[in-house]
Chains A and B, each alone.
Chain A
Amino acid sequence: MGRQLSFVVALWKTNLLSAMEYRVSFLTQVIGMMLNNAIYFVFWIIFFARFEEINGWDLVDMLFLFGVVATGFGAGTYLFGNSVRLSSLIANGQMDYYLSLPRPVLLHALASRSNASSAGDFTYGLFSFGAAIYFSGSFGGLMLLRFTLGCLASIVVLISFLVLVQSLTFWIGNTSLLTRHAFNAIVTFSLYPITLFDGTAKLFLFTLVPAAFIGALPAEFVRRFDLLQLAQICAGGAVFLVLAVFVFYRGLRRYESGSAIQVRM
């Protein structure tokens, strides 16, 4: 475990060095993404100016939700940047590099790239969490711990879901379009109050598109401690992680490589 951690930290450091070669581009993407998220949140500010709450959720709940989702999403796709392009790596035969080195293929592939714009999401998420604390008037070390736990659970489910969807590439060929739809679906649904959904829709958000594990559940857990919710987010994270690793390595046996000319960015 310590060996893999030291290796992954070295990868992240190399990613950072690579990003710093183009500082202006890096900063532009970070600031651009923060503005993009802020503009999106303006919609909710306008909404809650007219309606006090929506099925028990108010603006502060939305700030907590955006805090957890943006921080988790930003950290996840920054640290595991290839989680959004695994499909093309598989389809174009670019897994060769990771297979020829003595490290776990999935971990190595995921952590070998950082998205600069994700750093913007991450920073925005921290601002949103800060604003949520300010307006709710509640803060303490325990809340910070719950926020960290909630974000970690959110990262695990998000990355596992993306790996699961893109592992289908091993069986059905390029899934870039499917990945894009799945990605949009999980981000969109994770940013709505869970109380809007019930019955089949709710089941859908806990299974096929597990947005509830990325947004609502951890956000509610951050707001107030609930042992059942803690158990739910831990179990959800563990199940999706095990499933993703299992499906990916089953698929890897079908990997067919390729001969396209490649570049390591």
Chain B
Amino acid sequence: MPAISVRDLRKTFQMKRKSAGLRGSLRALWRPTYQSIEAVRGLSFEMEDGELLGFIGPNGAGKSTTIKILTGILHPSSGEAAVLGHVPWQDRQALAFQIGSVFGQRPQLWYHLPAVDTFYLFGKIYEIDDSSLKRRISFLAEAFEIEELLETPVRKLSLGQRMRCEVAASLLHRPRVLLLDEPSIGLDVVAKQRLRMTIQRMNDMEGVGVLLTSHDAGDIETLCRRVIIVNHGEIVYRDKVSALKRRYLTVKTVDVRYNEQLAPDFSLPGVEMVKVGRYGAKMRFDTRVTPVEPVISGLAAAGSLADVTVSEPSLEEVISAIYARTEV
């Protein structure tokens, strides 16, 4: 049985519309008009037990709404969903004992208190007995490298340190599924890497399944084997991350430098010249149209090579391209 199963899930919000200015406000006061916004439009997907699944999309794509439905925070307008066999909006409390959630913009740690105080409160919330809780806190503190941070008031922690404590708090009750909504938002590169490492470690050690939404393609690339891309509330792509890269990483960019000056009319067949200088050039080609081998031979034939770099577009660029294709 999959850990998460979603069928034709829909969520529509009623948004009040108002034209600009005082006149618009007065009119809206007298005769308000509403517009239906479909945040989620018939999503269907499954996540296996212990899987790390990426769920990405631009702002307003419906990611957070979907996560909120799966945690029981929101009721869907229609459709079905089951998380670990529970219908989230009907069995919210029973489900909450088995899942953990972290929302990057909604901290659960008490701001003025050390994280350990929130951990003890969570122990009561999740009904963990005192000795098990102490062992669990000590295990998570070591796994997340937060031993030194636990007794510092949360307001004095850096964003990266706080987020590691947040994720640790969500794992206190040994959930089978972790729903992470933008956990890396606002973190610097080093903090992101540490957070990814700890999530991966918990997946390896305890087999906790993770549904991860992120704006950062790096999170998905590092952690997830499979990815679902949503835009305008619909799934626009779903496959393995490796397949996504294979399918969309066909455009190569080449930076070349020579020991001697280049001919002024330097060019290669099937290759788009992005920039040509006196001693080097930057170019781009699609491997489906122009194979790699003649390009490299052509570069070697053009003069004495000093350096060549062939690079692929980042996953971020690939995803942007997919979003762009689905824009209406």
Contacts and interface: CB of A to CB of B under 8 A. Distances in A.
Contacts, number: 80
Interface in A156-187: none
Contact of B74 (A17, A22, A255): A255
Given A263-B111, A264-B109, A265-B110, A99 B72 contact: yes
Interface stretch (A6-14, A32-40, A119-127): A6-14
A173 B105 CA distance: 22
B191 interface: no
A49 interface: no
A102 interface: yes
A101 B111 contact: no
A97 B73 CA distance: 9
A101 B127 CA distance: 12
A31 B127 CA distance: 37
A14 B73 contact: no
A103 B93 contact: yes
A102 B117 contact: no
B253 interface: no
Which of A7, A256, A260 lies at the interface centre, i.e. has the most chain B CB atoms within 10 A of its CB? A256
B125 A253 contact: no
Which of A6, A18, A102, A256 lies at the interface centre, i.e. has the most chain B CB atoms within 10 A of its CB? A102
Contacts of B109: 264
Contacts of B112: 18, 21-22, 265
B113 A21 contact: yes
Sort chain B's interface into a size bin.
35 or more
Contact of A96 (B93, B103, B117, B124): B103
B92 A264 contact: no
B92 A99 contact: yes
A264 B68 CA distance: 19
A263 to B, nearest CB: 5
Contacts of B139: none
Given A11-B121, A103-B93, A264-B107, 6 more contacts: A6-B124, A21-B112, A21-B153, A97-B108, A102-B125, A253-B75
A24 to B, nearest CB: 14
A104 B75 CA distance: 17
A97 B64 CA distance: 14
A261 B110 contact: no
A74 B271 CA distance: 77
Contact of A97 (B106, B121, B127, B153): B106
A259 interface: yes
A99 B64 contact: no
A100 B101 contact: yes
Interface in A98-146: 99-104
B74 A18 contact: no
Nearest to B99: A100
Interface of A: 3, 6-7, 10-11, 14, 17-18, 21-22, 95-97, 99-104, 253, 255-257, 259-265
B279 interface: no
B114 to A, nearest CB: 9
Given A10-B124, A21-B153, A259 B74 contact: no
Nearest to A94: B106
Nearest to B126: A102
Contacts of B105: 259-262
B110 A99 contact: no
Interface in B63-81: 64-65, 68, 71-75
B108 A14 contact: no
A97 B110 CA distance: 12
13 contacts: A7-B124, A10-B121, A14-B113, A21-B112, A22-B112, A97-B108, A99-B71, A99-B92, A100-B101, A102-B94, A253-B75, A255-B74, A257-B65
A255 B72 CA distance: 11
Which of A18, A99, A257, A262 lies at the interface centre, i.e. has the most chain B CB atoms within 10 A of its CB? A99
Contacts of B153: 21
B95 to A, nearest CB: 8
A265 B110 CA distance: 6
A10 B124 CA distance: 7
**5 A-B pairs closest in CB distance:** A102-B96, A10-B124, A99-B73, A102-B93, A21-B112
Contacts of A256: 13, 74
Interface string B219-261: 0000000000000000000000000000000000000000000
A264 B111 contact: yes
A3 B125 CA distance: 9
Nearest to B97: A102
B37 to A, nearest CB: 11
Contacts of A101: 96, 125
Contacts of A103: 93, 125
Contacts of A18: 110, 112-113
A100 B126 contact: no
Contacts of B106: 96-97, 261-262
A14 to B, nearest CB: 5
A255 B68 CA distance: 11
A96 B73 contact: yes
A91 to B, nearest CB: 13
Contacts of B120: 10
A100 B71 contact: yes
A183 to B, nearest CB: 25
A265 B154 CA distance: 10
A256 B16 CA distance: 13
Nearest to B173: A102
